[in-house]
Amino acid sequence: MTKLVVFCFAVIGLIAVVNLDSFSNLPVNNARFDMDKAIAKHEAHQKELAELAKMREERENPPKVVEEEVVEGPLVVLDTPQLVSGDKLYGKCIVCHGKRGEGKKSQNAPKIGGQMAWYIEKQIVDMQNKVRINKVMDPYIKKLSAQDVKDLSAYIEKLPWKEK
């Protein structure tokens, strides 16, 4: 045990001597301390820190871009009586299928805008005849006449297919 303690002291002493030797070999600089240079260096450092803080602030909180509201024309040009009637009928469909016929996932309503008129007409007629069951659509389509279905299908076909 004594040998271990002596060994530890010897190692600690050797480490202390090496460190003191390297400390005593440091070059001595007797240059005069210039306070003006130190102040200038400090101010340059503070300016750099302010610029970095400003860049970080801009990155974390980008300026809010105010989008100008674009006034759009009508989705469908209502140049025929059929399209005028279809526009009135589609007013009830907007709730689920959206203004542009884009569909709403929250209501499980498919995208129908721009779909072929014959296809829309066939689906509505199949739902009216109970060939295709859709309990959500039943209240909306059960009172539609054959002409109403044609008008509605023609209007839906004219809605834009691609989203903006």
Domain boundaries, the chain: 83-158
Q: What is the pLDDT of residues 137-159, one digit of tens each?
A: 888 888 889 999 999 888 888 88
Q: Which residues contact 142 (CB under 8 A, 6 or more apart)?
A: 128
Q: Do 151 and 89 touch, CB atoms closer than 8 A?
A: yes
Q: Do 151 and 142 touch, CB atoms closer than 8 A?
A: no
Q: Please, what is the angle between helix 117-128 and helix 146-158, to 10°?
A: 140
Distance of CA 132 to the CA centre of its chain: 38
**83-158: CATH number:** 1.10.760.10
Average pLDDT, the chain: 86
Q: Which residues of the chain have pLDDT under 70?
A: 70-74, 162-164
Backbone angles phi, psi at 109, to 5 degrees: -100, 130
- pLDDT at position 21 is 74
